[in-house]
A and B are shown apart, each in its own frame.
Chain A
């Protein structure tokens, strides 16, 4: 199966990051792994691109970051979701469900494969 196009990956990155963080504090590498796992490897980001997304979310006040020592002794930058971030997650949920619902309804009517 083909991987989703770049536009879709880009559009879904914010809701995905927020959804992962809504489950608990996390750091960049773990967020990427979580998304890979949840999408069964279908959604693969260029790893580095996640960080500007995280920084943008932080600037928007949806998440905040803090440094903590990891078990390996390295300083790691963790991210935590803020109240505004949870609200944004709910909004994303409604929007994506609306799109998803519309598509599902249409697809249930049968996808015309004849060309």
Chain B
């Protein structure tokens, strides 16, 4: 038995994969389809016949997408940027989580006096640096002490996890055109559901960065009050999975490169990959671009802190000016994103972006 609602739902899902047709346009087209089906059924056609006839009259999906792309060249870029942000943030959250788990594990081991085991762990930074090993062991007395710094770290991870969950959920629902209860909320800002999502993401990112900034502030206070503070640094840097040069990065980055190579290969082999596949490689691109930006920030950071004790050890994230630099660069990037996406600024950038070939991974890897 033909189920019209099911057929329309599946039609919507298929069309939602066209990267140039946004949610509003999709609703508009669906309403058109429904009107046409109603009219055809009034003429005596069965629901299935009416559905098929209406779909045929609507035109070819690919041609339609191409027409929409001419009028709205920015829609596909908005989607790509969303996927990029998701990719970047999800890796950040994973790294934070992994860093927290490993450091918790180490703390527990330390608590039971197994510091030698900790130092021999394959990812342990203490092995590489004897000074750190010594100071860290000294600091082992208050290992399970949840001071303000570790609370801030927990808070960071929590905020990030919530933000990420929210983002992934929103993107998933929006990309598939099934917004459910969200449609009521989105209906209030009909003209710009994409913009709403972007604002939420930027807000979430900024919020989490504020918490990171707070963690840095506490570290700084601790450092100044301790005089040398290196022992605390040794511990706390391990606590903040992102701030420390996490060993997980070493594992995830090659994996990300492998994935991106695989998708690039797939793209060349099967150029007709549907929109659903576009999300993952784009997300990975986002992670790589984000990582480059963060590394640039670290580099700037290391230029500022020449006489800082920790600079010699290679851990340069504890610089006094780090939060300021980090927040500044992040605001610049976030601002540029928002302005470019909202269409209020950077016409040249927008023109450049929209003139690029439409396959995101080809753009990014070329």
Contacts and interface: CB of A to CB of B under 8 A. Distances in A.
Given A46-B59, A47-B57, A52 B71 contact: yes
Interface residues of A, number: 19
A96 interface: no
B70 A67 contact: no
Which of A27, A47, A48 is the most central at the interface, judged by chain B CB atoms within 10 Å of its CB?
A48
A76 B70 contact: no
B132 interface: no
Interface stretch (B27-35, B108-116, B117-125, B172-180): B27-35
A52 B67 contact: yes
Contacts, number: 57
Contacts of B27: 75, 77
A79 to B, nearest CB: 10
A49 interface: yes
B67 A49 contact: yes
A84 B59 CA distance: 30
Interface string A46-73: 1111011001100100000001001010
Contacts of B67: 48-49, 52
B72 interface: yes
A28 interface: yes
B34 A28 contact: no
B31 A49 contact: no
A21 B66 CA distance: 25
B179 to A, nearest CB: 12
B24 interface: yes
A74 interface: yes
A52 B57 contact: no
A67 B187 contact: yes
Interface of A: 27-29, 46-49, 51-52, 55-56, 59, 67, 70, 72, 74-77
| 6 residue pairs, one from A and one from B, having the closest CB atoms | A46-B59, A48-B59, A29-B35, A52-B67, A48-B58, A48-B64
20 contacts: A27-B31, A28-B31, A28-B32, A29-B31, A46-B58, A47-B36, A47-B59, A48-B32, A48-B58, A49-B63, A49-B64, A49-B67, A55-B25, A55-B68, A55-B71, A67-B187, A70-B31, A77-B24, A77-B27, A77-B31
Given A48-B64, A49-B59, A52-B70, 11 more contacts: A27-B31, A28-B28, A28-B32, A29-B36, A47-B57, A48-B67, A51-B25, A51-B29, A52-B68, A55-B72, A77-B27
